[in-house]
Every structure is written in C-alpha cells, then in structure tokens.
Amino acid sequence: MSSGKKVKKAFCATLDFNVAKKIFVESTFIRALPGFSIVGMANQSIQESRDRIKSALLGIGFKFPSQKITINLSPSDIKKEGGHFDLVIALLIAFQQTTSTCREFYIFGELGLDGQVKSTSAIFPILLSLARKYKNISIILPQDIVEKASQIKGIKIFGVSTLEEAISFFREKKYNLPYVQRETKEFFDKKIEINGTEYYYDLDFPLDFKDVKGHKFLKRVLSISAAGMHNILLEGSPGCGKSMSIKRLRYILPPVNIDEVLESQAYKSINQEDENLSAKRAFRSPHHSSSKPSIFGGGSSRAMAGEAALAHNGILFFDELPHFSKQILESLREPLENHKVLISRVNSKIEYDTKFLFAAAQNPCPCGNLFSKVRECRCSDLDIARYKARISDPILDRIDLYVLVDEDFSKEDTSSSAEMFKDVLKAFIFQKQRGQSELNANLSEQDIQKYCRLAESAKEILEKAISNYGLNQRSVGKILKISRTIADIAQSKMIEKNHLLEALNYRKR
C-alpha cells in the first residue's frame, strides 16, 4: 500500500488520581483531508494543545503535510489530562518525515507558542510515582524542573528549554553520549548522616519560642511532642499562648530525609501548590468551618489531596477543636490510627498517606473563662458538659500528650527554639542510631517490645498505673512510647522510673 500507515510511538504518563499511569503516544499520517486530531480520552487541556503545537512547529520552519494527523493516547480507558503531553506529541509529528526516533524515553513538557518548553504542576508527582514503579528510566524534561527532579533516585534526566533543542537531542543522537550525573544542587544547608541515610534540617526560626513568655512546663511538653512526633492537645483560656506555641512547633520538628521531602512536595503538586523543596516539615491549619472533603480529600472527577494528606510528615493543627463538626472529628480516627486516608469512588479507590503530628487547642468551656483567674465563667454545668462531649473518647484516646495551659506569665523562661531543637535533634539521633525506621509515636507493637525496655523500678510503676487507672492496651503503648521519647532526650538506653512518671503526668484524666 503506497499510502501505508507508519505508526511511531513514544511514552508519556498521566496522573490517575495520585498514581502515575504509563501512556503510549502513537502518531499516524494518513492520505486524507488535512486535519489534526487527538484521541484516547484526552481532556480539554490536551485538545487545546493542538494550537500550541502547530504554532511551535511552524515557528521552527516545519511544514505540515496535506495529510490527516492522528495522535492516539493509549490505553484508551484511562482519562488523560495536562499540558505536559505537548512536547511528546510535537516530537512525533516533527519526526514523521525523518529517520529520527524518540526511542524509549518518557517525554514531558508544555509548549509555549514560541516553542519554549515549560513545566507543569503535574510533572513532579508523576516522576516520583514512575520512579517507584520502574528503575533506570530515561526522561526528557523542561529545563526549569531538572534541578528539583534530579533529587529523585533511579531516573536518568535530560533537560531541554525549547522544542528545537528537543528535536536536536534526538536527531544528533545526544542520548548515545555517556551520561554524566549532574551535580545535585544542595537545597538544604544543614544535614547529618546516620546509618548511611542523610537527614536535613533548617536552623531558621521565623517564629521563635523565645517570644512565648514563661510557660517552661509547656515548652518541655512541646519538645517531647516534637522529638517523638506525638499528638498533643492544649487546653486553656483564650490568650494564654496555645495557638502561639503550636505555630512555633513546626520549626523544632525532627530532620527529614529526601524521600519525605519529595512525598510532601508531590502532594502539594497534585493540588497545584508547587513550591521549592524545603527541609521544613509541613504545617496545615484548616478552619473549623472547613468541609470534610477539604480536610480528607475528595472530588468527583479528580480526587484532590485534603489537608490531612498535605500535612503528611508534618503537623495538622486543629484550633478550637470542639468547633469542628462531629463528622470531621470522627473521621480523624483512621488517619490517626492507620496513617492512611482512603477515598472511595464508583470506579476507583485512592489512598493517601497521612503520617502527621496531630496538634489541637481548645478552650475549657464555651465562653473560655473556666480556668481564668480574672474573668468569670458564664457557662452552666450542662453547657460545659455538652462542649466537652463534642470530642469522643476514641479521639481523646489517640492524643498522646494532654496539657492544661495556665495564665501565669510571672515565671520568666527564655528558652528559644534553637535550644529546644537541640533536645529534639539529640533524641532524633538517638532513635535512628538505635535502628528505628519510625519515630517513637509511630512504633508498632513489635517495636515497642524491642525498643521500650523498662528498668525494674519502672516496671513496678507501670503495673500500679495499669491497676489504678484502668489503662487499656492502647494507653499502655502510648505511655511507653512517650516514656521512650523522654528517655531519648535524656540519652538513656533504658526507660527509668522518672521517665515513666513524667509520661503518666501527661495523660488525659
């Protein structure tokens, strides 16, 4: 057949909710009325790419033949979206009349009308997902995302700035040149290496604990919370420093490894919150009027990550905890217990990781003055009981540290964030050198038995506490993990009596 179709192929990928799916991009030129169509469940953003691709190709002198161009995105049962398909489609069209080939490269990039290759928010999470599925894959990327993407292990990256550069890359067979790993930009100033893994941290404290006057006891508890990533609830009168303190907690959290940084960045990119890589852990503080989907994720056509997923590896802060809806509070059980959020739809199920430190603050009563020394409480006993009842026992049972915050600012305490972070870093190193993959708050039952070893005097105290307070298994595990963190700050291999007694002091009574 003189008009025989010659199909050329290349690779791209799309996000199917939060998982990358490999897409085969095929092109044919057929003798028919001139036209340009894209098939394979391509959404509007891909259909609009035809005009961008035409303009970019005409700008480099390409002449469209008098044939019908068909681009197929396979498999056809997966919805595709995003401007990052522009470059691979343009290359297949440009190479239809040449001997050049795109070989087995994954190609990403949005085209400007002048042929510039640009990044999109979808590319980074796609790369991270692909790197977990496939090893040693070669990828063509916009130059402006190359430095960030080079932090992902197991992929070979080539950057291009224009369509002309991309065409030259294949025509001149630059992919056959020996690949030299580029020098990775140091995104983080401070790092430590423990057991062969690098961890990064930041010594910049834009919100400093030295601004919190007094509250020596509160700062001690917050240091423990940060060191082990323990959930914490602060209760006290309005203006006593609850929210002020928790907003500073983010800056003394433990160091992060590169995988944790990339995971957090991927969730932000899915929600089009594209930012530079940072060693600071996430901090999310939704308002109590937020809807359930905004906190736990959802969406009919595209499941966006909610605040719980965006807080992964960081802090999720609920201020005015009892004012959140009952539905939201009860939905916290799964992410707090299993560190996962599962969003179910008719055709799919999407799972997000939610391993965060849950921090909350609340007033002691509806008017807030129950603990006040200068203001009179206007609430009845029934009002207070109803207010407290908004938070169920199963939720309170998942809170590790409970603190009553007083209004006494007379005791001067000048502890700064830098000083508190030293304790956190010391405990972090102690945990990692011990061989823990997880920080203390997330230890499994097997890990508790392995790492939470009690001195004889501490065992006696624990047995009495179980008998006197009627502690259940979860409460015992929680107390052991808090005790382990206190011992880590003190650089003690064994949990001593004083460590256990302090941990018992933080339980909700």
Contact 201, 256 (CB under 8 A): yes
The answer to whether position 432 is within a domain reads: no
**Percent of the chain residues past pLDDT 90, beyond the cut:** 61
Residues 52 and 98 in one domain: yes
Q: Give alpha helix (H) positions in 182-284.
A: 216-228, 242-249, 258-270
Q: Give the type of residue at 442.
A: N
Residues 364 and 451 in one domain: no
| Tokens 């995105």 sit on residue | 73
Residues 199 and 147 in one domain: no
Q: Give the type of residue at 207.
A: L
Structural domain count of the chain: 3
Average pLDDT over residues 337-341: 91
What are the distances in angstroms from CA 392 to CA 243, 313, 327, 335?
A: 22, 25, 11, 16
Choosing from 422, 453, 483, the residue where a domain stops is 422
The answer to whether position 437 is within a domain reads: no
Residues 201 and 296 in one domain: yes
The answer to whether position 3 is within a domain reads: no
Residues 497 and 374 in one domain: no
Record the tokens describing residue 96, joined without a space.
């239809």
Helices then strands, each counted (H, E), the chain: 20, 18
Convert the pLDDT of each residue in 425-449 to its tens digit. Answer: 999 999 999 999 999 999 999 999 9
Look at residue 413 and tell me whether its pLDDT is greater than 50: yes
The answer to whether position 463 is within a domain reads: yes
Residues with Cβ within 8 Å of residue 504, at least 6 apart in sequence: 461, 465, 479
Q: Is 285 left (phi over 0), alpha (psi -120 to 50) or beta?
A: beta
Look at residue 273 and tell me whether its pLDDT is greater than 80: no
Q: Looking at residue 138, which CATH number applies to its domain?
A: 3.30.230.10
Q: What are phi and psi of 354, to 5 degrees?
A: -140, 60
Nearest to 217 by CA among 243, 238, 245: 245
Residues 110 and 234 in one domain: no
Least confident piece of the model among 124-133, 168-177, 221-230, 270-279: 270-279
Q: DSSP letters of 273-333? A: ------SSPPEE---TT--HHHHH-B-SSS-B--HHHHTTTSEEEEESGGGS-HHHHHHTH
Choosing from 119, 146, 176, the residue where a domain stops is 176
Q: Looking at residue 487, which CATH number applies to its domain?
A: 1.10.8.60
Residues 242 and 126 in one domain: no
- Cβ count within 10 A of residue 137: 18
pLDDT bin (cut points 50, 70, 90) of residue 16 is confident
The answer to whether position 187 is within a domain reads: no
On average, the pLDDT of the chain sits at 88
Q: Which domain holds residue 509?
A: 443-509
- Distance CA(30)–CA(58), nearest Å, equals 20
- Rounded to 10°, the helix 163-171/86-94 angle is 50
- pLDDT at 1 (0 to 100): 35
Residues 138 and 36 in one domain: yes
The answer to whether position 294 is within a domain reads: yes
Average pLDDT over residues 292-301: 80
Q: Which residues pair with 28 in a beta bridge?
A: 70
- pLDDT at 447 (0 to 100): 95
Residues 228 and 294 in one domain: yes
- Distance CA(295)–CA(309), nearest Å, equals 8
Residues with Cβ within 8 Å of residue 72, at least 6 apart in sequence: 24, 25, 26, 27, 28, 38, 39, 40
**Comparing 100 with 477, which gets the higher pLDDT?**
477
- pLDDT at 2 (0 to 100): 39
The answer to whether position 429 is within a domain reads: no
Contact 133, 20 (CB under 8 A): yes
Nearest to 295 by CA among 328, 344, 248: 328
Residues 329 and 218 in one domain: yes
Look at residue 7 and tell me whether its pLDDT is greater than 60: yes
Residues 115 and 157 in one domain: yes
Contact 303, 152 (CB under 8 A): no
- pLDDT at 4 (0 to 100): 45
Half-sphere exposure of 465 (CA within 13 A, CB side): 23
- pLDDT at 178 (0 to 100): 55
Choosing from 110, 144, 176, the residue where a domain stops is 176
Convert the pLDDT of each residue in 112-128 to its tens digit. Answer: 999 999 999 889 989 98
Q: What pTM was computed for the model?
A: 0.85
The answer to whether position 331 is within a domain reads: yes
Convert the pLDDT of each residue in 30-76 to its tens digit. Answer: 888 888 999 999 988 899 999 999 999 999 988 888 889 999 999 98
Residues 51 and 138 in one domain: yes
